[in-house]
Amino acid sequence: MPTEHVFPEAGAKAAAAAQEFEGEKMSLSMGPSHPSTHGVLRLQMEIDGEVLTKAEPILGYLHRGDEKIAENMTYNQFVPYTDRLDYLAPLANNVAYAIAVEKLANLEIPPRCQAIRVICCELARISSHLMGLGAYGIDVGAWTVFLYSFTEREKLYRLFEELTGARFTTSYTRIGGVSRDVPEGWTDRVNAFCDQFLPILEEILRLLTRNKIFTDRTVDIGVISKDDAVAYGLTGPNLRGSGVALDLRKDKPYSGYEQYEFDVPVGTKGDCYDRYLVRGEEMRQSVRIIKQAVAKFPGGDWYAKDAKKIFAPPKDKVLSSMEELIHNFMIVTEGPLIPPGEVYFEAENPKGILGFYIVSKGGGVPWRLKIRSPSFCNLSILPKVCVGAMISDVVSILGSFDFVMGECDR
Amino acid sequence: MDFFFELPLWVQAALKGLAVIAVIFPIAGACSMAERKVSAWIQDRPGPSRAIPPWFAIIPIIGPFLQRLGAFHLLADGGKLLFKEDPLPGHVNKFYFVMAPLVAMIPALSTVAFVPFGAYVSEAKQVVPLILANVDVGLLGVFALASLGVYSLILAGWASNSKYPFLGGVRASAQLISYELSMTLSVLPVFLWINAPGQSGSLSLARVVEYQSQPGFLGGMWFVFLMPVSAFIFLVALFAETNRQPFDMPESEADLVGGFHTEYGSFKWSLFFVAEYSHMTVGSAVFALLFLGGWNPLPWVSLQTLGGWLHLTGHPVVLGILSVLIFIGKVLASIFFFMWVRWTLPRFRYDQVMRIGWKQLLPLSILNLIVYTCIIGGMEYFGHR
């Protein structure tokens, strides 16, 4: 056999062998029904062995068209839909939405109502972070953390139920106030909850914070640099975990947050562990805020008295006075009378910055309502963070983002 | 007893086999219930406490107690798994798919034969171990058979023809093989210690217990005190070999959904489940025999001593039952430890598991072996043995 024929053959063989060793990449679809994608997120991944070479989040499995729905109903009727955005912190969504519309209507909210809303927001933050913490525990395999944090959430739900009549879908706020005043002794029970919650929180966090296996799974995993976090529009604990101290409660206070003393925890590295630590510390700070709010809980009105055509009058007056009866009728049928204009308001929700952009052409129905949901923006960085991680790391990263698909897909 | 030994050999063997199935299946089932109950205790909730057959509900104290204990959930669960539809997905390789759970059961059940579970003192004042097959290969037999278990995971992962089970199967094969090394190396010092040179050696587990029930300070000492490092390595490797958290890579449900058994359902799935628990039971039993003195009640207190204290020397049957109870108590305690760890610790990542296996446990077990070899050699040299 002539030599020049031997060598190309050997070369082809070697090339084939090299290709064989390089291996084929496998595409793996994680979700929409997968235990660790927290709802219906779907990640289309390309893996080389166990290492990701590509990850693409596919959204929209829970799309309900909330923004379009909002255009077909009055401002108050949309409140229940805000429950279903970030369904782990419905109270905070209610408050953010109500404040947005009130800004459009230029309403002055009495201090008592503001304090109620602050307490609601912070309770919702604790509830949401507890859920995030527990689910994160499950993602890295620590089931007990989940059950412990759920026990605490159950106590919170009891408080919510007492306040709003519902455990989960609270729909508590109305434009110009809240649906009802706080029940007798409720603030004391909130205080009692906070007192017993702090030691239990320490106990829960102690299961993970110094745990070698947990730190192995989270430290230096899913690192997001400061610049990346800002560039991708991350907000909330995910942004603060990367070391950017952006907290709208401090930077653009609303609902009287400027009266309360609290710290904004930030991380140093921006890895999963930092995000976990930030959430833990935020719960402590929330307790601090709640205790201050309860300590100087103001008296007075719990809804805006001057908002005659916006906030439905009390029932006893509706049944006894002509003017109130007409207002009540108009607010229920036509919706609260909001002047024409447009507004963008964003609030620091547990998951990040929840923004409402509302355009009104007058009347009781928004002409356009746009929701800026934190989970959606936070997930945008997934393709960048996940590359090079292992499959188990993806679970860890997803858990540390603490997203909610109801809000992401809305 | 004599009646049993007069039976033909194959009848004896069949009876022993049936006994294994009759013991291991309920223990595995009870373990699954215990898992739920222990997790409930750890997580501060009542756990399974509802199911009760109507005729049991009228018994005054025992009925509610068993209900509270969740004893009937065991039966309900077993019944459910047995009578559920047994789906066979269209995309699987049917032959291997059905074979995998069977392959899982074979080593799980057959390892029991090598494990002594008690002893009685015969009329000649000799401690006779209760064991199905008292062979000299003892532990080697357990290891050899138990390591076959990995084939079922690989088969299941491969035959499922689906990506998550496939990844689970790949992880299983790598993990189980890696940890077998350290596991075997960690028990070698024990057998070096008990086998004097020049005599025919034995890997029998009964012999290990016999050694731990000698009189004297060193004689009565359990191997967990004598060789703590060995015991530690063995325990860690046991966690990895039985796919228990924090090493449950093959079925880590957070990332691989169900790992190798994602596509399985009903009874085939429960066979995997039973196999896992029986591996755990046998593993705990071996650990108790090797390091916790087997059926000896306390360190430096052998079964015979206890029998003497309780005036049971003339009652071999009572003493035998007592020894079995002591042994089962130890096994259950270590199973409880398994569950305790599972419901407390997070899970490792796959590469971390491999790193621990190869870079930490294996060197440690080699070092441990060398150190104990030197100690034993020194003791031989200076005539202390």
Contact across the interface for B352 and A140, Cβ inside 8 Å: no
Answer whether residue A177 is part of any domain.
yes
User: Cβ contacts (< 8 Å) between A211 and chain B: which residues?
Assistant: 345-346
The pLDDT of residue B1 is 54
Answer whether residue A6 is part of any domain.
no
Q: Which residues are CB-contacts of A115 (< 8 A; sequence separation ≥ 6)?
A: A256, A293, A296, A297, A298
Higher pLDDT residue, A154 or B128?
A154
pLDDT at A2 over 60: no
Q: Chain B closest CA to A115's CA: distance in Å? A: 34
- The closest CB to that of A147, out of B45, B346, B352, belongs to B45
Higher pLDDT residue, A279 or B302?
A279
Contact across the interface for B255 and A211, Cβ inside 8 Å: no
User: Cβ contacts (< 8 Å) between B253 and chain A: which residues?
Assistant: 35
Q: How many CB atoms lie within 10 A of CB A231?
A: 12
Q: How far apart are CA A390 and CA B353, in angstroms?
A: 13
The pLDDT of residue A286 is 92
Q: Chain B closest CA to A1's CA: distance in Å? A: 43
Answer whether residue A36 is part of any domain.
no
Mean pLDDT of A53-74: 88
**Is the bond leading into B228 cis (omega within 30 degrees of zero)?**
no
Q: What does each of the 385 residues of chain B score in pLDDT, given as a tens digit? A: 566 667 777 887 788 778 777 877 788 878 888 888 888 888 888 888 888 888 877 888 888 888 888 888 888 888 888 888 888 888 888 888 888 888 888 888 888 878 887 777 766 667 777 777 777 777 888 888 888 888 888 888 888 888 888 888 888 888 888 888 888 888 888 888 887 766 767 787 877 887 777 777 777 788 888 888 889 999 999 888 888 878 887 777 777 777 788 888 888 888 888 888 888 888 888 898 888 888 887 887 777 777 778 777 667 777 778 888 888 888 889 889 988 888 888 888 888 888 888 888 899 999 999 998 898 888 888 876 6
Contact across the interface for A217 and B42, Cβ inside 8 Å: no
Q: Mutate which of B349, B354, B360 to disrupt the A interface (most A C-beta within 10 Å)?
A: B349
The pLDDT of residue A18 is 60
- The closest CB to that of B43, out of A36, A148, A390, belongs to A148
Q: Chain B closest CA to A391's CA: distance in Å? A: 7
Q: Chain B closest CA to A142's CA: distance in Å? A: 4
Q: Are A74 and A334 in contact (CB under 8 A)?
A: yes
Contact across the interface for A36 and B43, Cβ inside 8 Å: no
Model pLDDT for residues A211-238, shown as the tens digit of each residue: 888 888 888 888 898 898 899 989 989 9
Answer whether residue A20 is part of any domain.
no
Domain count, chain A: 1
SS3 of chain A: the string is CCHHHHHHHHHHHHHHHHHHHHCCCEEEEECCCCCCCCCCCEEEEEEECCEEEEEEEECCCCCCCHHHHHCCCCCHHHHHHHHCCCCCCHHHHHHHHHHHHHHHHCCCCCHHHHHHHHHHHHHHHHHHHHHHHHHHHHHCCCHHHHHHHHHHHHHHHHHHHHHHCCCCCCCCEECCEECCCCCCCHHHHHHHHHHHHHHHHHHHHHHHCCCHHHHHHHCCCCCCCHHHHHHCCCCCHHHHHCCCCCCHHHHCCCCCHHHCCCCCCCCCCCCHHHHHHHHHHHHHHHHHHHHHHHHCCCCCCCECCCCCCCCCCCHHHHCCCHHHHHHHHHHHHCCCCECCEEEEEEEEECCEEEEEEEEECCECCCCEEEEECHHHHHHCCHHHHHCCCEHHHHHHHHHHHCCCHHHHHC
A interface toward B at CB cutoff 8 Å?
26, 28, 34-36, 50, 137-144, 147-148, 151, 207-208, 211, 213-214, 216-217, 390-395
What is the share, in percent, of chain A residues with pLDDT greater than 70? 94
Nearest to A169 by CA among A83, A269, A284: A83
Answer whether residue A39 is part of any domain.
no
Contact across the interface for A142 and B345, Cβ inside 8 Å: yes
Contact across the interface for A141 and B45, Cβ inside 8 Å: no
The pLDDT of residue B206 is 78
The pLDDT of residue A278 is 92
Q: Chain B closest CA to A36's CA: distance in Å? A: 6
Contact across the interface for A217 and B255, Cβ inside 8 Å: no
Q: Chain B closest CA to A281's CA: distance in Å? A: 21
Type and span of the H or E element at B349: none
pLDDT at A3 over 60: no
The pLDDT of residue B2 is 61
The pLDDT of residue A144 is 87
Contact across the interface for B254 and A147, Cβ inside 8 Å: no
Question: Binning pLDDT at 50, 70 and 90, where does residue A1 land?
Answer: very low
Q: Helix or strand or coil: residue B275?
A: helix
User: Cβ contacts (< 8 Å) between B351 and chain A: which residues?
Assistant: 50, 390
User: Cβ contacts (< 8 Å) between A141 and chain B: which residues?
Assistant: 245-246, 248, 252, 254, 345-347
User: Cβ contacts (< 8 Å) between B45 and chain A: which residues?
Assistant: 147, 151
Q: Chain A closest CA to B182's CA: distance in Å? A: 20
Q: How far apart are CA B191 and CA A89, in angstroms?
A: 60
- CATH code, domain carrying A185: 1.10.645.10
The pLDDT of residue B87 is 81
Contact across the interface for A214 and B346, Cβ inside 8 Å: yes
Q: Chain A closest CA to B343's CA: distance in Å? A: 6
By residue count, chain A amounts to: 410
Q: Are A383 and A240 in contact (CB under 8 A)?
A: no
Domain span at residue A163 reads 58-409
- The closest CB to that of B346, out of A147, A211, A390, belongs to A211
Which residue of A lies nearest to B168 if distances are taken between CA atoms? A50
Contact across the interface for A28 and B346, Cβ inside 8 Å: no
By residue count, chain B amounts to: 385
Q: Are B63 and B56 in contact (CB under 8 A)?
A: yes
Q: Which residues are CB-contacts of B26 (< 8 A; sequence separation ≥ 6)?
A: none
Model pLDDT for residues A89-123, shown as the tens digit of each residue: 899 999 999 999 988 888 888 888 889 999 999 99
Nearest to A350 by CA among A235, A215, A211: A235
User: Cβ contacts (< 8 Å) between A142 and chain B: which residues?
Assistant: 344-347
Contact across the interface for B252 and A392, Cβ inside 8 Å: yes
Where are the domains positioned within chain B? 20-83, 92-381
Which residue of B lies nearest to A29 if distances are taken between CA atoms? B163
The pLDDT of residue B370 is 92
Model pLDDT for residues A331-368, shown as the tens digit of each residue: 888 888 888 989 999 999 999 899 999 998 888 888 98
Q: How far apart are CA A177 and CA A112, in angstroms?
A: 10
Contact across the interface for A50 and B343, Cβ inside 8 Å: no
Contact across the interface for B346 and A390, Cβ inside 8 Å: no
Q: How far apart are CA A54 and CA A69, in angstroms?
A: 35
- The closest CB to that of B349, out of A35, A144, A217, belongs to A217
Q: Helix or strand or coil: residue B120?
A: strand
Mean pLDDT of A183-199: 90
Answer whether residue A51 is part of any domain.
no
